[in-house]
Amino acid sequence: MDPVLFFDQVSLDDVPLVGGKGASLGELYRELKPLGVPVPDGFCITAPAYRQVVSGAGIEAEMHDLLNGVDLDDVADLARRGERLRALVADAPVPPAIAAAIADAYTKLSAGCGDLDVAVRSSATAEDLPDASFAGQHESYLHIRGQEALLDAVRRCWASLFTDRAIVYRIHNGFDHMQVSLSVAVQQMVRSDQATSGVMFTLDTDTGFDGVVLVTAAHGLGENVVQGAVSPDEFYVFKHTLGHAPSPVIRRKLGAKEQRMVYAGFGDGLVNEPVPQAERERFCLTDAETVQLARYAVAVESHYSERAGHPVRLDLEWARDGADGPFYIIQARAETVHSRAERTTIRRFHLKGEGKELARGAAVGGGIVSGTARVIRSADDLHQLRSGEILVAEMTDPAWEPVMKTAAGIVTDKGGRTCHAAIVSRELGLTAVVGTGDGTRSIRTGETVTVSAAGGAEGVVLEGKVPFEVEKISLKGLPRPHTRIMMNVGNPDVAFEASFLPNDGVGLARLEFIISNQVRVHPQALLHPEEVADPAVREEIARLTRGYDGPADYFVRKLAEGVGTIGAAFYPKPVIVRLSDFKSNEYAELIGGRDFEPKEENPMLGFRGAARYVSDVYREGFALECRAIRAVREEMGLTNVQVMIPFVRTVAEGLGVLDRMARNGLKRGEHGLTVYLMCEIPANVILAEQFLAHFDGFSIGSNDLTQLTLGVDRDSPLVASVFDERNAAVKMLVSQAIRTARRMERHIGICGQAPSDYPDFAEFLVKEGIESMSLNPDSVLSITRRVVEVEEKLGRGGEGAQAVGR
């Protein structure tokens, strides 16, 4: 057999001949290049050629002896054996016929170019397989020029079959060392040292959500990205709107891109150089370039999936040739982590031991976590919190959220089930116990505690590390009720994971979380930075908005990306986005916010919701929110995203909001835009017919409706015991709202906390005829089962049931 095969001579069927990497390169070149996916040409030195070198050198017996005695616990001995194995292979003479075939292939590849620069990559016969990638186990060499240098690089690739890490990997994965051979792929170099390069995945690498292409990019040759030596830019492109939306880039993250790998000069190899600060502060790909790369990725994925007869998710490498040259796909392999993940089970937590009770309060999250406690007395002390510690505080506010993300769990003295700490903990997927009264006094910094929210409505903080177990619950065969079960999802970071739960979409996506965590700056401060009094704050705003087309573009893009991520996670199911409902004191906590917000005695009943949207004071800020929603629907193509208006006190106020929205390009009914109204003020129920004449439906906000019906400040511990959505007066209003909406054939749902916390309240809603419930993700399964039971008793179980979520 010819020891050298060009890419157009091999395919995915030839793994035994040219290894996983070589076979994939051949498949790409033969099958995808004709379809418009650019792939550099090259050739493979076959695995039989490697075996011929080894057998011809007479070194197999010594190799067997070295490999049979490997002790993984003896690192020094492993290193000695590996070094000897590599030397045996690297020093083995290459038969003249094989050396000549390599030289001839290189001459042919270089035709008309002198000595062509090539990349020389190892390709093992057990590499890039569906259940074992072998990624990074063997060596590759870049910027190789000339026949002598090429042959030397080939020898070093062969020898890398016995890197210490490759030996260990084969043992852990059950591969026979001597049955694995190594081919070498030689490929035209793409001069990305003068441009950009990176890696793409046809799924989200954190969750396995396969509706996106994740594109990473950095300056220079791609080895830095592959090896994790730099923090690249990240882009998420939504597959389902890729073919028709103007810009289906749903999310971007600016990477540090500290250095780039470039040519050091002829014969001097490669070197890393620092990237100028101005380049680091800009994305190294435009949206159009990102979309082009994603199209290539989807084309390759489609071909590989069709060939395999089942979905195949891919890990691809790409590179740009020169500063303004074309993009090339230079490698593709099957993704092996999430492709095998089991997505038909969820987890439930149960304490299996006892401990001294330190504090008790409202449970949030349903989980159990142990860790070291850190008592934080004020925002000035937040820097003391270490990742993985339990945050213990009197209370939290939006300014704390970036730090709260690093905590393993949260305990507060004040607040109830709808306080800031509770809401944020749910959205971050954290375990929390809130409203303990004395947590900051009974818990000491440095002691180990266990926070349990797995016991129902009440949670406890226990002394020490208390054992617990995690129950896995199968989602297979879970019945779907007639009542639509939606979810409250405000944190884009958990949207992909949450989408795997059985659901009918998102009934409440709060803009507040996205604004406080991802935008962080008050919209008026972005529009009018000159009115911000503190020079340090102005500098912070300037720093955050670098790389964007102005401060307003920063707000719109950040907000659109957050909403777009949630919209994509649940597409094509409806995602109802509630426009911002910060109170003035919360807006003031945003960067630059104190220069634009009034000081109110009772912000809960003040300048919030619809009143803010129709005011001239916030007119420009509201316009930015509308621009962001338009970008999601029109540019990203996520028309499943709908809008909900909070805290509308009067019908005239509601009409004013609709008018403002229409002026900003969001006209109810156009392009399928649905506009809902939060039903959370008694006036909304009393005048329901008048309100619903102008909106597409109600979503009951049980938190504020209870507060305003009973005259209870829901954040006040002094009257917390009075706050109960199950109060007869509240239930009477809920029942009236449902009846009116159904009579007027308008949608009626609920997105408040009550059905998530109280199964009996969920039962009440079903009996009253609610169309949908939007629940916290941690209560979806238990409440779904309860709803199914109630519907079966009522004789309408399963009617119109929605399809189970991903």
> Residue 48: is the preceding peptide bond cis (ω within 30°)?
no
How many Å apart are CA 12 and CA 29, to the nearest integer? Answer: 11
Tokens standing for 377?
């007395």
3-state secondary structure of 446: coil
Residue 780 corresponds to which amino acid?
V
Residue 595 CB neighbour total at 10 angstroms: 16
In degrees, rounded to 5, the angle at the alpha carbon of residue 532 between the alpha carbons of residues 282 and 543 is 15
How many Å apart are CA 340 and CA 69, to the nearest integer? Answer: 32
How many Å apart are CA 687 and CA 33, to the nearest integer? Answer: 64
Residue that has been written with the tokens 């000081």 in this structure: 599
Q: What does each C-alpha distance from 618 to 157, 234, 523, 537 come to in angstroms?
A: 64, 33, 9, 20
How many Å apart are CA 713 and CA 720, to the nearest integer? Answer: 8
Q: Which of 219, 222, 218, 215 is nearest to 242 (CA)?
A: 215
Confirm if 268 and 145 have CB atoms less than 8 A apart.
no
What are φ and ψ of residue 292, in 5° steps?
-60, -45
How would you classify residue 547: left for phi > 0, otherwise alpha for psi between -120 and 50, otherwise beta? left
How many Å apart are CA 284 and CA 253, to the nearest integer? Answer: 11
Tokens standing for 287?
């949206």
Q: What does each C-alpha distance from 108 to 95, 328, 394, 567 come to in angstroms?
A: 20, 21, 73, 51
Q: Which of 303, 297, 300, 301 is nearest to 313 (CA)?
A: 301
Q: Which of 366, 461, 463, 363 is nearest to 416 (CA)?
A: 363
In degrees, rounded to 5, the angle at the alpha carbon of residue 547 between the alpha carbons of residues 544 and 553 is 80
H-helix or E-strand spanning residue 612: helix 610-614
Q: Which of 474, 470, 472 is nearest to 351 (CA)?
A: 470
Residues 6+ apart with CB under 8 A from 554: 519, 521, 526, 544, 545, 548
How many Å apart are CA 253 and CA 275, to the nearest integer? Answer: 18
Q: Is 250 exposed, middle or buried (0-12, 13-18, 19+ CB in 10 A)?
A: buried
How many Å apart are CA 703 and CA 282, to the nearest integer? Answer: 43
Q: Which residues of 221-236 are buried (b: 16+ CB within 10 A; e: fewer)?
A: bbbbbbeeebbbbbbb
In degrees, rounded to 5, the angle at the alpha carbon of residue 243 between the alpha carbons of residues 571 and 225 is 85
CA 337 to chain centre: 16
Confirm if 661 and 674 have CB atoms less than 8 A apart.
no
Q: What does each C-alpha distance from 152 to 6, 164, 330, 642, 754 come to in angstroms?
A: 20, 21, 22, 61, 70
Catalytic sites, residue numbers: 420, 751
Residues 6+ apart with CB under 8 A from 776: 426, 487, 488, 753, 756
